[in-house]
Structures are given as structure tokens and as C-alpha cells.
Amino acid sequence: MIDPDKLLKMLDIGQRAAAQPDDHVWLGASAGTGKTQVLSARVLRLMLEGVSPEAILCITFTKAGAAEMAHRIHERLAMWVRMDDGDLRTELRALGLDLELIGYDHGVPALIERARSLFATVIDSPGGAVRVQTIHSFCQTLLVSFPLEARILPGFRALEDSEARALQREVLGKLLSQQGGDGDHMRSIAAMLSRRLGQDAAIAFLARCASSFTAANAPRLAPRATDLRTALGLPQGDPADWRAAAIAGGAVADADIAAVALSGRDWATKTGDARADIMDDWHRADSHGRAAMLAAVRGCFLTGTGDLRADYTKEKGAMRSCLGAAERIVAATGDLLATATAMQVADDLAAAWDLGSRFAEAYALAKRDKGYADFDDLISIAGHLLATGDFGDWVRFKLDQRTDHILVDEAQDTNARQWAIILSLAAEFFAGLGAKDDRVRTMFTVGDRKQAIFGFQGTEPAAFEAARIRFGERAAAGGRPFEDVDLDTNYRSSPAVLDVVDAWIAAGAPERMGLESDEPPHTPADFNRDRAGRVELWEPLPVGKALDAAADDEGDREDSDEDAGPGDSSAAASDPASLRLSRAIADEVQDWIEHGKDGRSVAPGDILILVRRRRDLAARIVARLQSRHVPVAGVDRFSLTQSLAVQDLLAAMRFAVQPLDDLNLAALLVSPLLGWTQDDLFGFAHGRKGRALWEQLRARESEAPPETMAALRGLLGMADFTTPFRFLDAILSGPLGGRRKLYRRLGREARDPIDELLGQALAFERREAPSLLGFLAHIAASTAEIKRQTEARSDVVRVMTVHGSKGLQAPIVILADATDDPRPRRLTFDLSTGAWEKLPVFGLGKDERHGAIAKAHDDKEAAEREEHWRLLYVAMTRAEELLVVTGITKAADRSLPDNNWHSAVDAVMAGMGADWQDAGPRWGRKRVYAVQPKKWARPPKDKARQVAPPVAVPPWATESAPEEARPPRPLAPSALGEDDVASPPQGGERAVAVERGLLLHALFERLPPVLPARRRAAALHWLAVQAAALDDGARAAMVDEVLGVIEDPAHSALFGPGSLGEVPLSAVVDGVVVAGIVDRLLVTPDTVTVIDYKTGRHVPAHAADVAPAYLRQMAAYRDALRVIFPGRRVEAALLYTAGPRLVVPGDDLLDAYKPGLPATKANLPGWALEPDAPTP
């Protein structure tokens, strides 16, 4: 019997409808409703119905999601193999199968037999697994299968993000290094982009341009500035000249200027006179001068916030008499400045797109030359392939023959280009023969528009809804419409969490999330209805001005150093906001783990801390938890060089390259690798009077720890003789024990960065000439990031972004930065104009956005705000039992930014009657909404569990493995001994002799099986083809020589039936491998005869006259054959073809020349870069 907890849970009504294998299904699944279980169940039902595994294609959004789904399916199939019939029937019922209807007499036994065979069926299928892929992985597989049709280099490789960024920098560098006017023009554009965006953001902008200009059916050339101005409704010409012409045409009325000047003089104050003077200067200036004065003129009327000054607007304002004139002047000058600014922005955009189109072309050529394709290429090329004429029809036909069922997971995160690929794959499911033949073919999609949070990848709820309508129309036209199924029974969260989420949705969240219709409330599963749960909203932690204001309210209280101990997270007002918040959260988490949360025991793995953006807050929470010795996983994604372990290893490598870098050596000494304290370092570094730190260490070596000096000298000793990977491996696994030391200091989160660094070293060695200096330069320029695949369940605290938490859950979830301002400082967006779709626009200030550009910006800002609220939904629904919402406030009045999560949850909880409660000195106040509060407190589950004794590590586990003996190099008898045969001809004569010997050996091998009457003709024909350069006489002489040997009656047995030519042999003689190819071998029941041809002109008269090298060779052959054919007599002979003469050296002669094999055994030479390796 299997543990009942491991059996499949019974599908509910909605889940069973979605898992029906014969229907097209469009499934809407809210968070926690078991969509992954439905997906797995549908795949299992399809295979139980007899569908071949390779006919099923599952497309998911992430690699982790694909791996999770494949694991679930394979694990279940493996369990079915071992299950007893009763448990297996229970599982089949859980999948929604009606066993009564199937019949227990024949149907159910056959179904059980098929269920048990599915695991082997999947293993034996092409690929050995169910096809569960990301859309990018599928496209890559498609292009690998049809490279010529897709016009991509066969054997191409998909670029990782870090490789793509490195290649982009290389391509841009080559573009900007061009000489001449074209190069100057591109450099000026690049300088403009750098001023606007910064270097890294400028390159990212050009990468977006590359994606736009290389998309299928997109124009390859950028719009010209004149065309862009026309499209935006802007005038042509120079902005300054246009502005002057407009002013000359009366854009600003002289009468209004005069009215303001008169009012200013009437005021008779310094301010009034100053304004009148500016108006007088306007009258005296020409049109260009007036254009230059626009900002000064507007300054007479507007405050710094853009409002009209009180002197004009107030009832008793000194210049109210000219209010109308002032308003007209402000409006006119504003229009002039705005239009001129818009003209300049259009010119800058056109120039940026021009550089972007050139970059796109160069980047595409660079990828093609190197055989690369980035992730955008995979989608665009695959989409173009499937949509292109005859080629597309043929490729779709080939795919259509293989795929009968398509399942799309996380459909809300699929963008329009990806939907087009899926539609191409599934089109035949809905029309023509594909929809009506004997095969049942289905389309299944599952998604939740409330969880569409990857807008930066082009996804949006509108695309999800458009795809639903489009696929629905196709299916309806084919006679089998989609079944629309919604899942709203939540199996994850407690009623307390769901009540708050539903109250927020009911308060207008769908509209905020950009959804066009209301969302149904979440229904807790039956087993969850009485589950205890809580939602807590902690009062924002005051920082900066807010903390100063709080201190003023409480009076001038001085906190001593003792009061501000390590456990006091609210002591230092000067701390950065993220540092102070991280301290408070980490201290709270530590208290929970040590003392429980309001009576409920808490384990580290129960806690998931979420942040909106990947900034320093997450890293500081991790660092604070580590300092508190709380088990915690590192942040889910970070730069490789941010890891302290990587920095320490690179410091060791830099020391090997440049030992006189004092700062680097100091960092290395105090790292875990060498373990010095700051006091140790100060003792050697202070007062060295300009001497390098390494020189100081050598001068005072007797005072330094011997192990430190040995380690440093060991690093220097490897500098010029090892590769980056071997260098790092020697530090980590060698006598220094670097891996153990780094793990002891930094914990388990050091593992991923160390492994990634080793991977980078191996990849670098494959691409470049390996050197330590080159690798250091590569890492310094690299933007490699580590993406940790977070497990669904863990035994440590997890800290990650809300995006990274998709698909995860935890008993306790903390939203750490819920008070953050959701507005980005500079928003990048897209602009469509004419034939150009979604060209990227760099961030623009408010005064630079006008007309169509302002509308595109506002639309993107609205979309970002909607996604911001969808992120809140995802974040809240990760919680199973306890949801905590917190953050900081910086303002003196403790106000929070508009549209922040904290305020939204605060309003909902206040409306639910959750009043403020005391939260202690750390947080001040909190709101609490609880369900089943009496059931909340519970003792630890593992209270009575025995603590396992510490494992005693045996000494050998911490020592290097002994070096294994190197295998002997196979001994070639033909190469034994010194070459003491008479010197052969040199130069061209030697080449001729070698060619002659090879041809003779080939004839001896090929002619014996040929009938005697046909041998001469066959030999001459073969030589005419293989040795066309020889004349007829030379070929005839060679044939005569070979036939003279073969047809000699004395040699008939050697070339007769049963004899073998060119026979490879291998044997171990006295511990040495002897391997070679003998020219002729004759094996009889009693005797083995081995023959070696000698084609030279010199023929010895007696065996004793044979060259010693030949005798050693034959002795080795003889001894090897004795091992191979024990108990038989072995005869060795040399056949001199020039005689022909067969020379048989006896055993006595060969024994004298038998080589001392053990003494001359040749080991493979050690690599000179290895420690203690012999010099080759």
C-alpha cells in the first residue's frame, strides 16, 4: 500500500471538465486552484486513451515550469508501475474516469495494464520523455530540424543573455570605430544616447531597436526625421528658425506684452519693474532674440511648480489687471516651447533609430557569422518559417503529422508573436481534414489574466483575451467549440487570506488590473474552510524625515549606545531606508523562528519574503538573516560578481597575475581563504613606508603564518602554468580547502555562484586562449547573472521578487516593500508610426512628451500601473496561512506614495473592521484580520523528534585522493627500439619508397581472394586508379613482384583459404599493452604463423643478418600471439618481397632480441600544468 497522502487528490467538477481528453478547453484558473494538477491529469488521461507521448506537446512559460510538469508526469507513471491494483484504481477514479462505466470484467483490467505500461512507453518514445517545452525551446527544436528552410546556419547555438550582451558591445564598438563622415555621424548619435540614458541603458535601447528592425515583415530602415515629424504633425525645418518665424508671425501678441509691461510699471516695485524691463526687452529684440527669451518671459508668470503667480491670480494681486494677457502669453509661449522641444525629440528619435537600424543589421550579421541566435531570433524566425508560403506549408504538414494535442500553460504570459506560432501549429485542428478525420485532436490552454505580470516581455491581458476569441472562432467553425471552464476553488490559502483578497477585488481591483469584467470570488476548498489564518498590516517603518518627526513628537530623547544594540532595529535614523527595513524584518523573522508567531511554531522554510523590485533590500535582508544565523537562501537572481565568494576567488586570481596590487592582496588576506583578521592585516600593512604589501610579507616572513605564505606562493606558482578552471579548482579542492572555508563563512548560498564561476571558466577556455589575465578581463566585462531555481518547498527562508515567486507558495509570506512608489523614474515605451510597429522610445521628461509621443507614454504608464496591481494579486495569493504587508515611510507627515500596495490593503482591512492594534516597539501598530484564531497556535510538529547526532567525517574525506597510476601507452611493435636499420633514402626518394611500400602492402591484402586467372588484370586496374602517376612499366613490375610471392608454391598456405591479411591484434605482455597490425596471419589448430612484409631492396641472406629492429618487432608479435593463442606454437617470419624470400628467425634468435618490455614501458606524459607533473 502507498501512503494515502501520496495518492492523487480527487479532481473537483471543474477540474474534471478541464481534464476531459476529447474536448477543446479554454481554462481560466485563479491562483491556487490546482491548474498544474489539471494539466498533468489531462496528459495522463490522453495517454490512457491511447495517445502516443510524442503526439502531445505541452508549452510552458519557464524552464522551471516545464521541468516541474515533466517531473510530475514521470513520477506518477513510475508510481503506477509499482502500485497495487486497489491504489491504481483509486488514482484512475481521481483522474475522473468512471470505472463502473468502463467495466470491471474486461475494461478496467486492460486500463490498469495500460497504465502500468505507460512509463516504459514514455521512456521508449523519441526523446525518452513527454514533450514539455518552453516556447523558446520548441522554436529552437523546430529551427534545428529545418535550418535550411528557416535560412539559419545548421548547428546554430542559442545565445545566453550574458553572451548576447557581450556580442552587442562588440558589434557596437566596431560600428563606432568606423572612419569618415559616416562614423562621425554614428558617434554623435551614440554620444546623444549616452547623455540621455547612460552607457548601459543606451546599449539596451539599441538591442530593443535590433529586435524591432529584424522582426518579421518589419522595415529594415528607420524612418527619416522629416517623415517622423510629418507623422507626428510637427513642422519641418530647424526648431530655432521655426520658433523665430512663429514669433514674427504674431504667435505672441505685442499688445499682451505691452499690457504686462504697463501693469508692472504701475506696481512700482522692484519685482514689477523687473518684469516690465523683460517685456520692454522683448519689444526691442528681433524674432530670434525673442525666441531666446521665451523661458525668461514665462518666468515672469509661472512659479517653479508651473502655476500662475499669485500676483496675477489673487483678487488683490498687484498685476491682476493683466491676468488675461498673462494667460495668453503663457499659453502661446508654452506652445512654442513645446513644439520646438517636440521637433528636437523627433530628430533625436529618428537619429537614434537610424543608429539602431544599422546596429540591428550589424548584430544580425555577427550572429549569423558566429552561428548564434538569441531568444528574439528563435521566436521571429520560427514564426516567419511557419507563415511563409510553400516552405511554411511543408513544415506545418510535417509537424501536423506528429502533434495531435497541444497544451499551453500560463497562457496569460504568452505574447502576440508566440500566439501566432501556436495558431500555426493548431490551425489544422479546427479546419478541413485535420478537424474531421478519425484522429481526435485537441487544444487546451490554461491561464489567469489576473496573473499577467510579464509585460516587459510583451504580454498583456488583452492578448490573452484576443487569443481566446480567435481560437474560439476557429474551433466553432470546425464544429467543435471550446469548452470555457473557470476554476475558483482555492486549495492553497486559508479563508483569512482569501477574504482579504476577495474584499480587495470587490473594491474595484479588476478595473485597476485592466480587466474588462468582474472576477468571481475565491472559494476555499472544503478541507481549508476551518483552517486558521491571518493577514497583518504593519504600520510603515519611519525612516529619514519621518523618523526625525517621530523623535520630535516624543521629545528630545537621547538613546545610549547600549539601548541601540544589535537587536534594536529602529535606533539609527541615519541608516539607509533599505538597511533599516531589512534589520527590522530579519529581527522579526528570527524572533518567530526562536519563539514562534503568537503561539504558532515557525520553521525557516515556512517563510517567503517578497519584494517588488530586485534592489538592495533583498540582498540586505539575506545578509541580516545570515548575521543572525537564520538559514536563508540567497536572492533568486543576482550578478555573478556581486557574490562575496566569487570576489574572493577572483582576488586570488588577481594576486597570481599582479601580486603588487596592495588593495587586492589585502582583500585576499582577510577573506575566508586565508582567514586573517583586520588586526593581523594592520600589523603588517601599517608603517611599511611605500613598500608593496607582498614585499612587506616576504621581508617579515618569519612573522607571517607559514600556511599563508605557502598558499600565496602556491598561487604565484600556478600563474603561468595553468588554466582559469584548473586554477579555481586547485583553490577550491586542493590543500587550501577553499570550498570548505567559503561554505563555512558564507553558507549554502555560495554554492551557486562558485559553480557558475567554474562554468564561466570552462566556457571561456572553449572560446578563447586560456589565460588568467584574459579570464579576469572577461569576468570584469561580463554581465552574467545567476538565476536560482527556487524549490516549491524549502527548509530555509526564501527571499525573491514577486515575479520570481510565480508558481510558489509558503505558509507565511511577507510583502517587504509594499509602500514603494510604483511610478518609474524614466519609463521606456514604444511608438508605432506608419509602417513601423512598436519602435522603442527612450525615457523622456514631462516637458519632452507631446502629442502622439505623450499618448504612447501615458498608455504604457497605465499598462505598468495595471500590472502593478496584478503583481499585488500574485503576491497576496502566495500565502497559505499568514500574509504580512509592510514597508517604510519617508515623509515627515508619514504619507505614502499614490497607488502603493500598503494603502490599498490598509483601506480594505479597515473596511473589514480590522482596527489598529499595538505591535510592540519595532513596528508600533498593526491591523490584524484573523479567521479561526483559536486554532492558530499550535506546537512544533517536530518537538519530540530525536536530534540526529553529528556525523563524524573520516580523515580521508578532507584529503586529496592519491594520484592514480597512469595507464601504459600501447606498445607498437613496429616502433620498438632505436631505428638502427640502414638509413633509408631521403627527400623525394623516401616519399617514393614509402608510396611503393604502401601499394605493395595493399596488393598483398587484396589479391589472395581473387581467382588466379584474374589477379593480374585486377592488380593492374587497381594500380591504374590508385597510382595513376606511375608509368605502365613500374606498375607491371610491382604486379610481377606481388604475384611472384603469392603464387610461389612455397607460400601457398600463407595466402590460401583461411589466412588473414592486415589483422589487428592487442595483448598484455608482462603488464604492457602490445598493439599493432600484422601483415599476414595463418592460424591452424596447432600453429600460428605471423608474417611481416619487407618491401625494401635489401634482402638478407640469413636470419642472423636481419636488422635488429625487425627482430625486436617480430619478437613482440610472437609474444603477443602466445598470449592470444595459449598452447599453440607461434612462428614469426619476414617476407622480403624483392626476393622473394621468406626468412624465419628461430625462437633462439628472437629470444636474444626480445625487448625488455617492463623496462621500456612508456607512460603517457603528465600535463605540465598539473602540480608535480614531469616536464614533457
Distance set, CA 1163 to CA 144, 412, 970, 1113 (Å): 43, 62, 9, 20
Domain boundary among 467, 487, 507: 487
Instruction: Return the residue matching grid coordinates 504686462.
Output: 260
Average pLDDT over residues 936-942: 60
**pLDDT at position 976, please?**
56
3-state secondary structure of 481: coil
**Is the pLDDT confidence value at 656 over 90?**
yes
Domain boundary among 327, 343, 359: 343
> With bands split at pLDDT 50, 70 and 90, how would you rate the model's confidence at 710?
very high
**pLDDT at position 987, please?**
55
Domain assignment present for residue 561? The answer is no
Residues in the chain: 1176
DSSP per position, 44-62: HHHHHTT--GGGEEEEESS
Report how far residue 453's alpha carbon sits from residue 804's, in angstroms, rounded to the nearest whole number: 11
Please say whether the beta carbons of 719 and 708 come within 8 A.
no
- Tens of pLDDT, residue by residue over 823-880, are 877 788 999 888 888 899 998 988 899 889 999 999 999 999 999 999 999 999 999 9
> With bands split at pLDDT 50, 70 and 90, how would you rate the model's confidence at 640?
confident
Q: Which pTM value belongs to this model?
A: 0.77
- Contacting residues for 410 by C-beta, under 8 A, at least 6 apart: 60, 61, 62, 65, 446, 447
Tell me: do 926 and 902 sit in the same domain. Answer: yes
Pairwise pLDDT comparison (505 vs 934), residue with the higher score: 505
- Tens of pLDDT, residue by residue over 145-182, are 999 888 888 889 888 887 888 899 999 999 999 998 89
| Helix (H) / strand (E) containing 1022 | helix 1015-1026
Tell me: do 836 and 928 sit in the same domain. Answer: yes
Give the CATH number, domain containing residue 60: 3.40.50.300
- Tens of pLDDT, residue by residue over 15-34, are 999 999 988 999 999 999 99
- Report CA dihedral (793, 797, 802, 808) to the nearest 10 degrees: 10
**Is the pLDDT confidence value at 801 over 60?**
yes
> With bands split at pLDDT 50, 70 and 90, how would you rate the model's confidence at 520?
confident
Residue 101 grid cell: 462505466
Tell me: do 76 and 96 sit in the same domain. Answer: yes
Q: What are phi and psi of 1112, to 5 degrees?
A: -65, -40
Residue 1049 grid cell: 608454391
Please say whether the beta carbons of 362 and 343 come within 8 A.
no
Report how many domains make up the chain: 6
Tell me: do 825 and 896 sit in the same domain. Answer: yes
Please say whether the beta carbons of 1065 and 1076 come within 8 A.
yes
Report how far residue 406's alpha carbon sits from residue 411's, in angstroms, rounded to the nearest whole number: 12
Domain assignment present for residue 3? The answer is no
Check residue 1077 and report its DSSP letter.
E
**pLDDT at position 1038, please?**
86
Give the CATH number, domain containing residue 926: 3.40.50
Tell me: do 721 and 783 sit in the same domain. Answer: yes
**pLDDT at position 1043, please?**
87
**Is the pLDDT confidence value at 575 over 60?**
no
Tell me: do 979 and 904 sit in the same domain. Answer: no
**Is the pLDDT confidence value at 1123 over 60?**
yes
**pLDDT at position 678, please?**
93
- Tens of pLDDT, residue by residue over 242-300, are 999 999 999 999 999 999 999 999 998 999 999 999 999 999 999 999 999 999 999 99
CA atoms within 13 A on the CB side of 5: 0
Angle at 725 between CA 719 and CA 729, to 5 degrees: 90
Report how far residue 15's alpha carbon sits from residue 38's, in angstroms, rounded to the nearest whole number: 6
- Tens of pLDDT, residue by residue over 71-85, are 889 999 999 999 999
3-state secondary structure of 518: coil
**pLDDT at position 432, please?**
55
**Is the pLDDT confidence value at 670 over 90?**
yes
Tell me: do 329 and 425 sit in the same domain. Answer: no
**pLDDT at position 769, please?**
87
Please say whether the beta carbons of 33 and 27 come within 8 A.
no
Tell me: do 1022 and 1135 sit in the same domain. Answer: yes
Parallel/antiparallel/unpaired status of strands 916-919 and 924-931: antiparallel
Residue 7 grid cell: 495518492
Domain assignment present for residue 734? The answer is yes
Please say whether the beta carbons of 1090 and 1131 come within 8 A.
yes
Tell me: do 1107 and 1009 sit in the same domain. Answer: yes
Domain assignment present for residue 908? The answer is yes
**pLDDT at position 477, please?**
87
Domain assignment present for residue 1173? The answer is no
**pLDDT at position 982, please?**
47
- Contacting residues for 229 by C-beta, under 8 A, at least 6 apart: 235, 236, 343, 346, 347
- Tens of pLDDT, residue by residue over 1000-1050, are 888 888 888 888 889 899 989 988 988 888 888 888 988 888 888 888 887
> With bands split at pLDDT 50, 70 and 90, how would you rate the model's confidence at 196?
very high
Report how far residue 289's alpha carbon sits from residue 1133's, in angstroms, rounded to the nearest whole number: 111
Please say whether the beta carbons of 223 and 353 come within 8 A.
yes
- Tens of pLDDT, residue by residue over 847-856, are 899 889 999 9
Domain assignment present for residue 523? The answer is no
Report how far residue 1084's alpha carbon sits from residue 1060's, in angstroms, rounded to the nearest whole number: 12
**Is the pLDDT confidence value at 396 over 50?**
yes
**Is the pLDDT confidence value at 816 over 90?**
yes
Please say whether the beta carbons of 374 and 158 come within 8 A.
yes
Pairwise pLDDT comparison (94 vs 555), residue with the higher score: 94
Domain assignment present for residue 1174? The answer is no
> With bands split at pLDDT 50, 70 and 90, how would you rate the model's confidence at 1162?
very low
Report how far residue 235's alpha carbon sits from residue 229's, in angstroms, rounded to the nearest whole number: 7
Percentage with pLDDT > 90 across the chain = 48
Please say whether the beta carbons of 1152 and 1145 come within 8 A.
no
Average pLDDT over residues 375-391: 85
**pLDDT at position 927, please?**
95
Average pLDDT over residues 222-246: 92
Tell me: do 881 and 757 sit in the same domain. Answer: no
**pLDDT at position 273, please?**
93
Tell me: do 543 and 591 sit in the same domain. Answer: yes
CB atoms within 10 A of CB 446: 24
Would the CA dihedral through 456, 460, 466, 472 be positive or negative? positive
> Considering only 358-372, 550-564, 1012-1026, which range has the smallest mean pLDDT?
550-564
**pLDDT at position 1163, please?**
34
**pLDDT at position 787, please?**
72
Report how far residue 1045's alpha carbon sits from residue 1055's, in angstroms, rounded to the nearest whole number: 9
**pLDDT at position 1174, please?**
34
Angle at 488 between CA 484 and CA 489, to 5 degrees: 130
Give the CATH number, domain containing residue 1069: 3.90.320.10
Q: In what order do the strands lie in the sheet with 810-815?
A: 798-801, 607-611, 810-815, 879-885, 533-538, 924-931, 916-919
- Tens of pLDDT, residue by residue over 481-501, are 999 999 989 999 999 999 999
Report how far residue 1113's alpha carbon sits from residue 1092's, in angstroms, rounded to the nearest whole number: 9
- Helix, strand, coil % (nearest 5) of the chain? 55, 15, 35
Note down the domain range covering 864: 533-556+566-633+794-935
Using alpha carbons, select from 356, 312, 15 the residue that is nearest to residue 207.
356
Parallel/antiparallel/unpaired status of strands 405-408 and 442-447: parallel
Give the orientation angle of helix 416-430 with respect to helix 461-477, to 10 degrees: 10
Q: What are phi and psi of 815, to 5 degrees?
A: -90, 105
Report how far residue 648's alpha carbon sits from residue 728's, in angstroms, rounded to the nearest whole number: 11
Report how far residue 259's alpha carbon sits from residue 261's, in angstroms, rounded to the nearest whole number: 5
Average pLDDT over residues 193-217: 89
Domain boundary among 487, 517, 545: 487
**Is the pLDDT confidence value at 574 over 70?**
no
Residue spans of beta strands (DSSP E) within 469-595: 483-487, 489-490, 523-524, 533-538, 541-542
Report how far residue 999's alpha carbon sits from residue 58's, in angstroms, rounded to the nearest whole number: 60
Give the orientation angle of helix 772-781 with respect to helix 724-733, to 10 degrees: 90
Check residue 1130 and report its DSSP letter.
E
- Contacting residues for 589 by C-beta, under 8 A, at least 6 apart: 607, 609, 625, 630, 797, 814
**pLDDT at position 604, please?**
92
Tell me: do 815 and 780 sit in the same domain. Answer: no
**Is the pLDDT confidence value at 204 over 70?**
yes
Computed over every residue of the chain, the mean pLDDT equals 85
Domain assignment present for residue 940? The answer is no
- Identity of residue 390: D
